[in-house]
Structure 1
Amino acid sequence: MTVDGEAVRLKTEADEPGWEVDPDDEWGLAIIATVGRQLKLRREAVGMRAAEFGTVVGYGEDMVYKIESGKRIPRPEFLDRADEALGAGGLLSAMKEDVAKVRYPKKVRELAQLEAQAVEIGVYESHSVNGLLQTPDHARSLFEAMQPPYSPDEVERMVAARMARRSVFERAPAPALSFVQEEAALRRPIGGRMAWRQQLEHLLEVGRLHNVVLQVMPLNSETHSGLDGRIEMLKFGDGTAVGRSDGAFNGRPTSDPKQLRVLELRYGTIRAQALSPGESLAFIEQLLGET
């Protein structure tokens, strides 16, 4: 079937047009409930049953009810097709902006907001490639390996959320970004050999950006100041900062100046103990050649 001359594939329940709503996100729940209510009012105003509407836009009746009741977050293409099918004159399509604000889990949105405001970000990552540095296939493989398992729908939602955070590399003015990665995390072929090669290639690409410093902590380092786990620090234009470490202050984010100085000391020491940026890129190139 077609909508506006384009073929529309009838979808199964497994790939329906929506994401699960975060039950702890009150703001997001309110927005999605409002969007769903507007969809239902428009549909009923033109005298179209849910099953008929679902057929027109290419989705199942059950999913139409879920979106209208605020139980699922509609995808952008669903709102565009609904706008056309219901003759809404762009009002439903305009809701994509509101939906985009809540399409990702609350914790991910909050982190992305902090990253978008930071003028400086420093991360030491011990067990995996940092989320800002991951490729889609690498991230997908990590989410698929988690226990208890995510549904396929949630995996794709989390991958999309992680990829959206990479907009930090496109900001102007560019923030200062530094990463220290454990060698062991770079050697693990997450997602298979091809995905692993693509991840290493992406690290080289990012590591060559003018505002990025990428370093590797080699396995032959007998000891270093990051053995307690991940460290993350974000600094803002007004002089404030927030930091977190797996091995300090119960792993909770902190803005306390004394605690931030401790994290800064640890992170500075880790950077001094790691390979230099030039040595790190050469190491990744060598590792890529071995794959």
Structure 2
Amino acid sequence: MPKPKDSVPGETPREFYGNELRRLREAAGLSQERLGELVFCSGGYIGMLEAATRKPQEDMSRRFGEILDTGGHFERLYPVATASRFAEYFTAAAELQAIAESICEYSPALVPGLLQAPGYARAVFESAQPLRSADDIESRVVQRMARARILTGPTAPLYWAVLDEAAIRRPVGGVAAMHELLAHLAGVVRNRRAVIQVMPFAAGGHAMLEGSICLMTFADAPPVAYIEGPHAGQLIDDPALVAKCSLSYDLVRAAALSPEASLALIEAAAEEYAHGHH
């Protein structure tokens, strides 16, 4: 049996799992396609595991160990590689966002995590979890800012957000934090990293009054929807229900301000916060 190699500095547990899978597969003389056949998945899926863009599965890890004769190596790696820094209910959605081709979100009261600035994110965590230590809160802020990096670079998804006007009017974290947030949103739009629309109060009722939603599409998998409430979330992959969610989102997008008018509103609100007039 080939021996496990030492990890390299900066390598995450999931990257180590993927690198070990590639090393041991190649040592066994198997292509990604052939290994996929043996564990009943596609060669492309094996490639995503090796690239650390998909979460390993327990039963598949056991099969890797049997086929590659690793003496339980992948079974031991599995719990470490799948440990998440996110809340359990959000883990699957966060992982899917990282590989999505497009992400469309509607948020009625909160600016989504991928668009947050540090001061705003800190205030959100402090408000929701007031008994957590300052160090823990700061660690969560750093993690959230790191996750937002999926909106940059050549593999960034098409990101489209519709924010209720309440999300930019409610002074979460105070005047300085809101100014930082809104200036950040304007920069994201002007740098063409996202499309942002605002659903104005004047629009009245609309198709998503009952909650928030995140829709994701992928190059090689069906679309999914994710809905979330306090301390709980649900990933939806039923095609009929995802289609209904997509229609609701399209109706909201049609009823919101145009991207140009939304940017003007965001920048005007940022100016109000900058001068303490809000």
**Separation (CA, whole Å) in 2 of partners of 1:257 and 1:106:** 26
- Is 1:252 the counterpart of 2:234? The answer is yes
Q: How many percent identity over aligned positions? A: 39
**Separation (CA, whole Å) in 2 of partners of 1:141 and 1:240:** 35
**Separation (CA, whole Å) in 1 of partners of 2:122 and 2:87:** 19
Give 1:110 deviation, angstroms: 3.6
- Is 1:172 the counterpart of 2:162? The answer is no
Give 1:191 deviation, angstroms: 1.5
Give the AA of the match of 2:128: M
Gaps of 5+ in 1: 1-26, 32-98
The 3 A distance-change label for structure 1 pair 252 and 109 is closer
Gaps of 5+ in 2: 1-12, 18-79, 274-278
CA contact (8 A) 2:152 2:193 kept: no
Structure 1 residue runs of 4 or more that deviate by more than 4 Å after TM superposition:
99-103
1:105 counterpart residue number: 86
Aligned residue for 2:206, secondary structure, equals: coil
1:126-205 matches, cutoff 5 A: 126-147=108-129, 149-205=131-187
**Separation (CA, whole Å) in 1 of partners of 2:271 and 2:160:** 24
Give 1:169 deviation, angstroms: 1.2
Q: Which moved more, 1:189-198 or 1:119-128?
A: 189-198
Give 1:112 deviation, angstroms: 3.0
Work out which of the two has the higher radius of gyration on C-alpha atoms and give 1 or 2: 1
The 3 A distance-change label for structure 1 pair 127 and 154 is same
Give 1:101 deviation, angstroms: 8.0
Aligned residues: 195
Give the AA of the match of 2:208: G
**Separation (CA, whole Å) in 1 of partners of 2:132 and 2:244:** 36
**Separation (CA, whole Å) in 2 of partners of 1:109 and 1:163:** 16
1:227 counterpart residue number: 209
- Is 1:114 the counterpart of 2:77? The answer is no
Give the AA of the match of 1:105: F
Match of 2:198 among 203, 207, 216: 216
Q: TM-score, normalised by structure 2?
A: 0.64
**Separation (CA, whole Å) in 2 of partners of 1:140 and 1:109:** 20
Q: Which moved more, 1:152-161 or 1:112-121?
A: 152-161
CA contact (8 A) 2:162 2:256 kept: yes
Per-residue deviation, residues 195-241 of structure 1 (Å, max 9, x unmatched)? 11111100001122335210000011111111001011111111412
CA RMSD of aligned residues (A): 2.7
CA contact (8 A) 1:245 1:263 kept: no
2:268 counterpart residue number: 286
1:43-62 matches, cutoff 5 A: none
CA contact (8 A) 1:228 1:246 kept: no
Per-residue deviation, residues 53-79 of structure 1 (Å, max 9, x unmatched)? xxxxxxxxxxxxxxxxxxxxxxxxxxx
Q: TM-score, normalised by structure 1?
A: 0.61
CA contact (8 A) 1:104 1:157 kept: no
Give the AA of the match of 1:257: P
Aligned residue for 2:162, secondary structure, equals: strand
**Separation (CA, whole Å) in 2 of partners of 1:147 and 1:163:** 18
Aligned residue for 2:160, secondary structure, equals: strand
Give 1:194 deviation, angstroms: 1.3
- Is 1:207 the counterpart of 2:189? The answer is yes
Aligned residue for 2:197, secondary structure, equals: strand
